[in-house]
Amino acid sequence: MKKLIKKQVVIPILAVAILVGASSFSLKSDFFEIAKQIEIFTTLFKELNMNYVDETNPAELMDSAIKSMLDELDPYTRFLNEQDVESYKINNAGEYSGIGALVRSYESKLLIVEPYKGYAADKAGLKAGDEIIKIGDTKVSDFDDDAGELLKGANNTSVNVTYVRQGETKTANITREGVEVDAVPFYDMLDEKTGYIVLSRFNRKASDQTKSALRDLKGKGAEKLILDLRGNPGGLLSEAINVTNLFVSKGELIVTTKSKVKKFNQEYRTKNQPEDLDIPLVVLVDGKSASASEIVSGGLQDLDRAVVMGARSFGKGLVQRPLKLTYGTQLKVTISRYYTPSGRCIQSLDYWNRDEEGNAVRNTNFHEFTTKNGRKVWDGGGVMPDVVINSLKTNSLINSLQENNILFDFATDFYYDHDFGSINDFTFSDADYDAFKKYAKEQNFTFQTKTEELLEQSINTDDALLGSEVQEKYKDLLLAVNRGKITALDTFKEEIKKGLEDEIITRYFYREGLYKHYLSHDDAILAAKTLLGDSTKYSEILE
């Protein structure tokens, strides 16, 4: 029933969303068409719910219609119900009341991804990999919305959870408490003169905590700095400006936003006096560094204030703003594209010119720009680092291993089969990696390479034209590609091994232990430390 209705209401619902933000600009000749479509939809929705042969659920139908419409745009334009609005506020504020764990929602269970050290879930004994199947009297499989919301609640209230661990069903009673989500979860000295700061998100604490860490490290003797933005998905635009401002002068242009709506065309400049204009700075990024992380890394790169190291960033050059709707709901809508100081937009995927299957097309047509010192940089595909760290690169194999939880599930089993007294005792041997390869092959996970897509298209399109002999050759080639996927587990051993070690170490020693391990074992940090130790090479890169 929902599929039938979805096609009928996509365009009319669009009129409702457009009208929400329409007060600030003239609708001109479009006004009649918008009003017409609203009237059509209102009439349709009323008649459908009154006359359909079975009982309908108006709320579910409307939710389906709205989501269907927004799916035609970009993944960041979303309808926020009252619960979503509250979660949005929590993410920005950096504090909430709950059990203190990162959870992932599935159709019939909640998966504990990471319990935060010292918080309620951790104190109750929950571990990464535990599958919550029941919260209080509510079965997760029977709950239509995100069951993770049931874990939140007022301080000092209790929630009983039933979970499965390694095939055994257990229960735990957890007392909720206030949870502080730090933007800077870790910082330390790498050596006598080099400081290291992890900035994991851009909530309202980001710039203050980064400033505090910087001051503390300089007090301990730091004369050089590494700012780690790897895995940082972004957050508040204002905090990205403020973090950049710590290292550049007041009044410096950091971001320009451009939109069809005139009031959203803005320039964002630094407003405060900087903390340090001269400290040599390396910024680390990877494929999961997005949005605000790219504003900071791209801005510092364009202004030649830092050397960017790592792997190409995610490529999100779009800005969202929440617009208030009725009954406590909101529309988080993409209002503009942002541009770094050199004038480049680093948006990687084109959601408005999709391929035949409806998928966003990755931008491959890059344009050249220049930094303040005249260095060449490019738009359209994320922030490209000045120095590439190969172990941070990703591909379809690594993405598939992560998306199918192959790394995560192996790490869970590894945790219960091994014991390490301290982080210094941790090892992951070649024999352990061989065990992982065997495990990965047994899971029969699937992923499709670009080569396979092209071969399958050729087979399906040119079947009659090519003849049976060529068709068989195509099929043999497909089999060879499939065998190559298994070989790729050896080819990309170092990249995959890093992902495995990150997962495993966090199980034993929490996030703090992982960052401490990084200080002496992480390729990117060690390379950044070496570069900062060579002032001539550092200067040559920026010049």
For residue 77, the model assigns a pLDDT of 94
For residue 8, the model assigns a pLDDT of 39
Task: Write out pLDDT tens, residues 400-459.
Answer: 899 889 999 999 999 999 999 899 999 999 999 999 999 998 887 666 666 666 666 666
Task: Write out pLDDT tens, residues 7-50.
Answer: 334 433 444 444 444 444 454 557 888 889 899 999 999 999 99
Distance of CA 224 to the CA centre of its chain: 28
What phi, psi does 82 have (nearest 5°)? -60, -40
Alpha-carbon Rg for the chain, nearest whole angstrom, is: 26
State the distance between the two ends of the chain, measured CA to CA, in whole angstroms: 62
> What is the number of alpha carbons within 13 Å of residue 245 lying toward its C-beta?
20
Task: Write out pLDDT tens, residues 200-209.
Answer: 999 999 999 9
Select from 179, 180, 185 the least CA-distant residue to 199.
185
Task: Write out pLDDT tens, residues 163-219.
Answer: 999 999 999 999 999 999 999 999 999 999 999 999 999 999 999 999 999 999 999
- Proportion of the chain in helix, strand, coil states, percent, rounded to 5: 45, 20, 35
CA 509/CA 503 separation, integer angstroms? 10
In residues, how long is the chain? 543
Model pTM score:
0.86
Using CA atoms, how far residue 222 sits from 71, 88, 218, 244, 450, in Å, is 48, 36, 4, 19, 46
Q: What is the DSSP letter of 235?
A: B
Contact 253, 269 (CB under 8 A): yes
Q: Residue 270 pLDDT more than 80?
A: yes
